[in-house]
Amino acid sequence: MPTDYMYVMKCSENDRYKEGKISRYGNIELSPSAGVLNYGQGLFEGLKAYRKESGGLLLFRPDQNAMRMKFGAERMCMPAPSVDQFIDAVKQITVANKRWVPPPGKGSLYIRPLLMGSGPILGLAPAPEYMFLIYASPVRNYFKEGSAPLNLYVDDEYDRASRGGAGGVKTITNYAPVLKAIMSAKGRGFSDVLYLDSMNKKYLEEVSSCNIFLVKDKVISTPATNGTILSGVTRKSIIEIARDLGYQVEERAIPVEELMYADEVFCTGTAVVVAPVGSITYKDKKVEFRTDAEALSRKLYNTLVGIQMGVIEDKFGWTVEIE
């Protein structure tokens, strides 16, 4: 759903970003030979603004998104806005579209920063000009089932990322290639796809747009970010919350066979937040997991959302209030 305003800031190659501006939401003009259109030189981020019971607005860890964009921009040979510029722009777009932030508990304002090679370039090289753009949209739950458990399919045919590639950064080129696998899985009644490592087809990586966690007794395991897995902000936050609650959290290589013995499985991401997985199908074998009200994923979800909405004390210093 389009909101009222977007934010745009431009930069030429080997220069720094100057002051950006808020403008009415609308189409942008690009050269047919823009780097982003021809060679996929682009990144995006995703974060949310929440409305407190008092009416105030909160952002959740925008500095982490800013730093991840800088990391990704270096990989994609693009100049990135500074952390301060990024956060200031996110605040501006949130305030400009504040009437679109849903009431407490009804959703959030999803904020989508884009960084793209907007300048014309015919030969394969970095673009001569770059655009940093942010737009926003009010959202509810990411998956159409709402809070219903996810039903995942382990795909051992398609790869999401490979060693030495760009799987560890949020480049736009990581997403269209998974559409084939997603559409195939959804056509068979699954919610999404869980990918394996491209080298061995043995270790868990991530779901199409979120990270995955396994729970066995008091131990939580998640695949280590080794260059092929995106380091999610929600993933990082859940690890810290879980450890604070007394759980042991392991970041390691996880063989796909461990799914057969897990008590619980859940996904994390800015869009999905914390989503319980009801079942996973691998090589025609379906394994079901705990998803009741006492499941750990529900406890972690309630804690994280409570912090994001200002209902639970933020002892981690993660939230940023917009004056």
Instruction: Give dist(CA 247, CA 239) in Å, integer.
Output: 9
Q: Name the pLDDT band for 105 (thresholds 50, 70, 90).
A: confident
Residue 212 Cα distances to 95, 191, 194, 224, 292, angstroms: 33, 14, 8, 11, 18
Residues found in the chain? 323
Give yes or no for residue 146 having a pLDDT over 90.
no
**Above 90 in pLDDT, residue 297?**
yes
Helix (H) or strand (E) holding 115: strand 108-117
Band the pLDDT of 229: cuts 50, 70, 90: very high
* pLDDT confidence of residue 148: 80
Whether the per-residue pLDDT at 144 is higher than 70: the answer is: no
Reply yes or no on whether the pLDDT at 142 is more than 70. no
pLDDT band at 149 (very low <50, low <70, confident <90, very high): very high
Instruction: State mean pLDDT over 195-204.
Output: 96
Domains of the chain plus CATH, in order, are 5-140 (3.30.470.10), 150-309 (3.20.10.10)
**139 vs 34, 100, 136, 209, 276, CA distance in Å?**
30, 10, 9, 16, 19
User: Is 170 a catalytic site residue?
Assistant: yes
Instruction: Please give the Cα distance from 28 to 33 (Å, whole number).
Output: 15
Catalytic residue among 18, 21, 170, 201: 170
Residue, of 268 and 14, whose pLDDT is higher: 268
User: What pLDDT is attached to residue 140?
Assistant: 85
pTM: 0.95
Q: Among the listed ranges 13-22, 109-118, 285-294, which one has the minimum average pLDDT value?
A: 13-22
pLDDT of residue 278: 97
State the average pLDDT over residues 267-279: 95
Among candidate residues 164, 159, 101, 152, the one with its CA nearest the CA of residue 291:
152
Per-residue pLDDT averaged across 238-242, rounded? 98
Q: What's the rounded Cα separation, in Å, for the pair 188 and 285?
A: 14
Give 167-188 pLDDT, tens digit per residue. 999 999 999 999 999 999 999 9
pLDDT at 13: 80
Residues 54-66: b if buried by 16+ CB within 10 A, e if exposed: eeebbbbbbebbb
Q: What percent of the chain has pLDDT over 90?
A: 92
Instruction: With a cut of 70, say whether residue 143 has pLDDT above it.
Output: no
Residue 165: pLDDT over 80: yes
Q: What mean pLDDT is reported for the chain?
A: 95
The token duo for 22 is: 């808020």
